[in-house]
Structure 1
Amino acid sequence: MKKANAEHANIDYMKILELDEAWKAKTATDLMEATMNNPLSEFLKAKRSELGDVMIEAFVMDDKGLNVGQTDGTSDYFQADEAKWQKTFAGGPDAIFVDEVEEEGGKKIAQVSLTVAEGGKPIGAITVAVDVDKLN
């Protein structure tokens, strides 16, 4: 995450929107491949495997709200315009946000998001989607 923060330190908003549109159109294949298959993504996939059916997906965002690691493809690259990032990273180092449970494919899924901090300073955020029926 720190590496992504350094790489994106000077990225402007128009470039972020351009990358986000390419991600949504599935034309940012190099970016998608790099995000889906980096060491962080492999770590997240291993954790999902360990947890079995409880964890549906997970993704990590940098300090700009850009995806830096994920278990599955997300519909967009830029998350800073969504509550999962706004109520965590923007909320400070101890922020946690649990979104409303939604039914998806016959499963009740909740997204749990929290700020990732280092030295008391937010450096990113993580969102984990869980099957709430499997939490017992």
Structure 2
Amino acid sequence: MLVEAIAAQNARTGSLSFDQINEMDAVWRAEIGALETPTIDGVIAAPASDFLRARVAEAGGLISEIFVMDGVGLNVAASGVTSDYWQGDEAKFTETYPLGSGAMHVGPLEFDESSQTFQVQVSMPIVDAAGTVIGAITLGLNAEAL
């Protein structure tokens, strides 16, 4: 499910310019807390996001959030609303996706605004059946539950 969702989004976003990506990110940020949130809803209401929410629920509090990024670092699916749409300028993406299969980034212990928990984010690339890196995934591990 996740691989298919990433591949479909990569087909739509792979040729976006830096300015277009920044514009999309600005729209997402402006929608946070707004009454109408079509950009956010497009991610949060996706079946892949339902799948991620189910994984968070099954984790019994250990995982506070999960989100998946496409090949340019834009959110494809998320268990909850992230504070921004574009992760492509952050270590969770820059230290995983470009480095290929087997790469991992473990972030510092921080208070995460979107999940309202102290967490450590662990990120890894996602590969398709051919072994090609197509995106990345980040799991927020709830430090208070460890």
TM-score (normalised: structure 1): 0.91
Which deviates further from its counterpart, 23-32 or 98-107? 98-107
What amino acid does structure 2 have at the position aligned with 1:122?
Answer: V
5 Å matches for 1:1-136?
1-26=6-31, 29-103=37-111, 107-118=117-128, 119-135=130-146
Instruction: Name the CA distance, whole Å, in 2 between partners of 1:51 and 1:76.
Output: 24
Moved over 3 A (4+): 103-108
The amino acid of 1:23's aligned partner reads: W
Secondary structure at 2:72 match in 1: coil
How far apart, in 2, do the equivalents of 1:9 and 1:127 lie? 20
RMSD: 1.9
Preserved CA contact (<8 Å) 2:67 2:137: yes
Which structure dedicates a bigger proportion of its chain to strand?
A: 1
**1:45 Cα deviation from its structure 2 partner:** 0.2
Distance change in 2, residues 1:89/1:53 (3 Å): same
1:103 Cα deviation after fit: 4.3
How far apart in 2 are the matches of 1:92 and 1:77? 22
Distance 1:42 1:134, change over 3 A: same
Which stretch shows the higher mean deviation, 91-100 or 126-135?
A: 126-135
Q: What is the rounded CA distance, in whole Å, between the counterparts of 2:134 and 2:54 in structure 1? A: 23
Q: Which ranges of structure 1 fall in alignment gaps of 5 or more residues?
A: none
| Cα deviation 1:16-37 (Å, max 9, x = unaligned) | 1111111111178211101001
Give the drift of 1:38: 0.3
Unaligned runs of 5+ in 2: 1-5
